[in-house]
């Protein structure tokens, strides 16, 4: 590659692919993570190269019959920005953009109107699959069905769509009302201790190589505030369903907490959503509701190949092997 930056090698490969297969139907997926995966500080170095690449793809006519998607698979996970509220939101809201051929808006104006409208609606990656199917076999615009897990973005995504409608778990939902609570709150302390116990149970069978973790510090805590209207809704008060009877007094049996805690040894930093059962006073946590938000690196070397799913949670008792001396 010589003096050519690796991100330009990737761009050139895409451009060459379109030149070679200019007249053939094609699908291409290409990605580059080197400049942005661990830090955002270098991503600006790509700006001019990206602009020139887009201009070249346009001038050479490759985008006249191509739907170009520029996307990220997720926001920052380990960079320092992840330890901020902005970083937390960005992890859950990766960039996803469409570039349509110039003629598409004239041919399908209602679809473009919906695409733009949906940029302000709750959408998920599951909506991309029916969208791509519609590219192959267009089925019109109109309004999407809120009951569908995936809604074509050529259709209008319902404004009232919630994370529950879209099958987005609360831990990953960016639309919920989380209320920060005192770090000394007894429920917060109990939740943090229950979370560390949960991690230790994951590595319990490997205690000969993975150290038992201890709670170092609770850095942030919040409680999911239930929607008052939902709790009070009893039934529709009119035949058309426009007026709500809010006479119910729904008893809350579960509460959700979200914590950011650090553990020792190893300095692991975790974010977890936990469910508190009001009836029996217990906390439960699922592995899918846990995010390791700082890098574990070589600290998990002892399970790197044999139990790779434990890498975020295992701090190896033995130090990592030293590289061979030259």
pLDDT digits (tens, 9 = 90+) for 45-75: 888 999 999 999 999 999 999 999 998 877 7
Q: Of the ranges 42-56, 186-200, 260-274, which one carries the lowest mean pLDDT score?
A: 42-56
CATH T-level assignment (fold) for domain 179-310: Nuclear Transport Factor 2; Chain: A, (3.10.450)
Q: What's the pLDDT band for 17 if we cut at 50, 70, 90?
A: very high
Q: For all residues of the chain together, what is the average pLDDT?
A: 85
Structure confidence at residue 233 (pLDDT): 38
Structure confidence at residue 252 (pLDDT): 59
Per-residue pLDDT at 230 exceeds 50: no
Structure confidence at residue 239 (pLDDT): 43
State whether residue 248 is helix, strand or coil: coil
Structure confidence at residue 159 (pLDDT): 87
Residues 215, 193: Cα–Cα separation, whole Å: 7
State whether residue 304 is helix, strand or coil: coil
% of the chain at pLDDT higher than 70: 86
Helices and strands (DSSP H and E) totals, the chain: 8, 10
Residues 196, 147: Cα–Cα separation, whole Å: 37
Structure confidence at residue 262 (pLDDT): 96
Looking at per-residue pLDDT, the higher value among 51 and 245 belongs to 51
Structure confidence at residue 267 (pLDDT): 94
Per-residue pLDDT at 232 exceeds 70: no
Q: Note the pTM of the prediction, 2 decimals.
A: 0.61
Per-residue pLDDT at 246 exceeds 60: no
Residues 246, 198: Cα–Cα separation, whole Å: 39
Structure confidence at residue 245 (pLDDT): 39
Structure confidence at residue 32 (pLDDT): 85
Q: What pairs with residue 66 in β-bridges?
A: none
Structure confidence at residue 81 (pLDDT): 64
Q: What's the pLDDT band for 240 if we cut at 50, 70, 90?
A: very low
Structure confidence at residue 132 (pLDDT): 94
Intervals of CATH 3.10.450.10 along the chain: 179-310
Per-residue pLDDT at 102 exceeds 80: yes
Residue 107 CB neighbour total at 10 angstroms: 11
Structure confidence at residue 278 (pLDDT): 84
What is the mean pLDDT of the segment spanning 181-191?
91
What is the mean pLDDT of the segment spanning 171-191?
86
Residues 293, 310: Cα–Cα separation, whole Å: 15
Q: What's the pLDDT band for 290 if we cut at 50, 70, 90?
A: very high
Structure confidence at residue 169 (pLDDT): 83
Residues 262, 214: Cα–Cα separation, whole Å: 9
């Amino acid at each position: 590659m010589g003096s050519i930056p690796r991100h330009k090698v990737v761009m050139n490969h895409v451009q060459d692919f379109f030149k070679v297969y200019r007249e053939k139907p094609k699908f291409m997926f290409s990605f580059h993570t080197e400049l942005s995966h661990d830090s955002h500080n270098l991503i600006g170095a790509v700006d001019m190269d990206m602009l020139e690449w887009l201009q070249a793809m346009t001038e050479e006519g490759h985008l006249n019959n191509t739907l170009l998607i520029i996307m990220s698979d997720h926001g920052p996970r380990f960079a320092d920005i992840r330890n901020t509220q902005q970083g937390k939101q960005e992890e859950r809201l990766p960039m996803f953009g469409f570039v349509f051929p110039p003629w598409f808006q004239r041919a399908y104006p209602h679809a473009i109107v919906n695409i733009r409208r949906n940029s302000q609606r709750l959408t998920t990656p599951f909506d991309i699959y029916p969208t791509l199917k519609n590219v192959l076999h267009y089925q019109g615009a109109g309004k999407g069905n809120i009951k569908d897990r995936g809604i074509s973005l050529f259709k209008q995504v319902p404004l009232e769509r919630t994370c529950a409608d879209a099958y987005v778990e609360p831990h990953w939902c960016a639309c919920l009302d989380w209320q920060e609570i005192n770090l000394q709150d007894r429920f917060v302390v109990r939740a943090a201790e229950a979370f560390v116990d949960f991690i230790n149970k994951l590595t319990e069978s490997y205690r000969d190589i993975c150290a038992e973790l201890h709670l170092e510090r609770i850095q942030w805590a919040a409680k999911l505030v239930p929607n008052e209207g939902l709790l009070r809704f009893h039934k529709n008060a009119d035949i058309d369903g426009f007026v709500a009877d809010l006479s119910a007094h729904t008893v809350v049996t579960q509460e959700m907490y979200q914590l950011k805690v650090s553990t020792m040894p190893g300095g692991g930093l975790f974010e977890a959503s936990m469910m508190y059962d009001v009836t029996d006073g217990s906390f439960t946590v699922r592995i899918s509701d846990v995010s390791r938000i700082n890098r574990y690196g070589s600290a998990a070397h002892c399970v790197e190949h044999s139990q790779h799913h434990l890498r975020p949670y295992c701090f190896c008792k033995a130090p990592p092997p030293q590289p061979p001396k030259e």
